[in-house]
Structure 1
Amino acid sequence: MAPVSTRLSKQARREQLLDTALTIVRDQGADGLTLLTLAEAAGVSRPIVYDHFGTRPGLLLALYQRLDERHRTASEQALREAEPTLRETARVLSDAYFVCSTDMPEWNAVSAALRGNPRMEAVEREMFDSFTDLMASALLPYSGLTPEALRLRCVGALGAAEAIAAELNRGRTTVSDAVAALTDLIVGGIDTRTGRSATDGSSR
């Protein structure tokens, strides 16, 4: 076992452990991730891992939240780089929603391992609310709706997105078609009767 570094702060050690946990899930699946396998792979003692996560479900939840943080950061970056139009903003948001199903297999593996965990529902609700807020904020410049009404429409669009994702997971559609469908739903849900164009956000 490698010697334990005393130079890492507790936060830095936690980040190292989560990075190592992600590698284990990527290479071996969620079944390969336990507190013991993490301690061995990270080269630390088991008490250190227990101190950070307590239990295997605690570790999995922390990893799930880490994946969500990375996903949100990537989504925010994509929105900053997107062409400032309603349709392109809607497309970026749609692509961000479905990327978890296609480009983040670790997300699905950890989610499946946490199925039935009583804390998972609360964590998923927090994530849903966070993405809803991100979506509403990004779409606000193109909408004549009040922020409250716009957020409610975003909730509806994400409900539709969940149904489309189910079709995607069953192999009944493709990622590109799923993104296109959700993009159209988002654009169609924005009120364009206040002088803003649905295609470019400019005045008519």
Structure 2
Amino acid sequence: MTQTRRRLSREERYRQLVETAWQLIGEEGTEALTLGRLAERSGVTKPVVYDHFETRLGLLAALYKDYDARQNALMDQALRTCAPTLAEVSRVIASSYVRCVMRQGREIPGIIAALAGSPQLEEIKREYESAFIEKCRCVLSPYAPGHKISTASLWGMLGAANGLSYAAAQGEISTAQAEDELRTLIVAMVERGRKPASGKDRGEKGG
């Protein structure tokens, strides 16, 4: 008796298409990703893929959204269980960011480059980056002098996170080196403006 294959729900089909798109980029690069090629690899007709993403730009935006969601989920889970100290929170942010990039490998630089080529997609990317920065501000500010961290410093941290993560993805540095350097930069950013302890504060005796 032939077993009837269960029809995927719309959400299940969407997840299948997104995962297949990541696989396709990982094997053949971002330039190989078209809606027609994705339909072929997924074993569905083109109208099915067009129904979910409409255009190639829509597909790229969906992939970036998926990447951002994974990154946030990884960081949120780690933040819920880590010790409430600057050292631990900084470690979580650094390791979550770097490991999410490493998990996607060479696919992420291609996606980001493609996003930058479209004003609409660049706006989406900037929106997610701004949300990440505000999350970092929220969890790091309690450890900063006056509980304040400048926006410029947070954007600088994000730039460093991107640079270090991609260097690790390209094998120029190790994952551990990228995480450690980013953690050090985050701690230095948060503690900037903190006054050095006086001799009295350090327990030193004068005279």
TM-score greater than 0.5 by the shorter chain: yes
* Of 157-166 and 96-105, the range deviating more from structure 2: 157-166
The residue number in structure 1 matching 2:139 is: 138
Q: Distance between the aligned counterparts of 2:162 and 2:174, measured in 1?
A: 14
Residue-pair matches, total: 189
Tell me the CA shift for residue 103 of structure 1. 3.1
The alpha carbon displacement at 1:119 in A equals 2.2
Q: RMSD of aligned C-alpha atoms?
A: 3.1
Partner SS for 2:149: helix
Unaligned segments of structure 1, at least 5 residues: 195-204
For the residue of structure 2 that corresponds to 1:145, the secondary structure is helix
Alpha carbons of structure 1 residues 5 and 57: separation in structure 2 relative to 1, 3 Å: farther
SS, match of residue 22 in structure 2? helix
What does 1:110-149 align with in structure 2 at a 5 Å threshold? 110-146=111-147, 149=148
Matches within 5 A, 1:60-139: 60-105=60-105, 106-139=107-140
Comparing 132-141 and 63-72, the one that deviates more: 132-141
CA 1:166–1:150: 2 relative to 1, 3 Å: same
Residue 137 and residue 46 in structure 1: after superposition, are their counterparts in 2 closer, same or farther (change >3 A)?
A: same
Aligned-partner residue type, residue 42 of structure 2: A
CA distance in 1 between partners of 2:32 and 2:175 (Å): 29
2:30 aligns with 30
Encode CA deviations 1:75-115: one digit per residue, 9 max, x unaligned: 21122232332112112212223335433222223234444
Decide whether aligned partners of structure 1 residues 111 and 100 sit closer, same or farther in structure 2, where only a CA change above 3 A counts. Answer: farther
Query: Partner letter of residue 145 of structure 1?
Result: G
Whether contact under 8 Å (2:102, 2:169) holds in the other structure is no
CA distance in 2, matches of 1:125, 1:178: 23
**In 2, Cα distance between equivalents of 1:76 and 1:48:** 33
Identity fraction in percent? 35
**Rg comparison, structure with higher value:** 2
Q: CA deviation at 1:129?
A: 1.0
Cα distance, 1:170 vs structure 2 = 8.0
Normalising to structure 2: TM-score of the pair? 0.73
TM-score (norm 1): 0.74
Distance in 2, Cα, partners of 1:160 & 1:27: 27
Residue deviations 1:128-160 (CA, integer Å, cap 9, x gap): 1121122122224433534xx336243343244
Which portions of structure 1, spanning 4 or more consecutive aligned residues, are displaced by more than 6 angstroms? Answer: 169-172
> How far apart, CA to CA, are the structure 1 residues paired with 2:67 and 2:164?
22
Structure 2 vs 1, CA of residues 180 and 52 (structure 1 numbering), >3 Å: closer, same or farther?
same
Amino acid at match of 2:181: A
Are the structure 2 counterparts of residues 163 and 42 from structure 1 closer, same or farther at C-alpha, using a change threshold of 3 Å? closer
AA matched with 1:150:
I
- How far residue 178 of structure 1 moved from its aligned partner, in angstroms, is 3.2
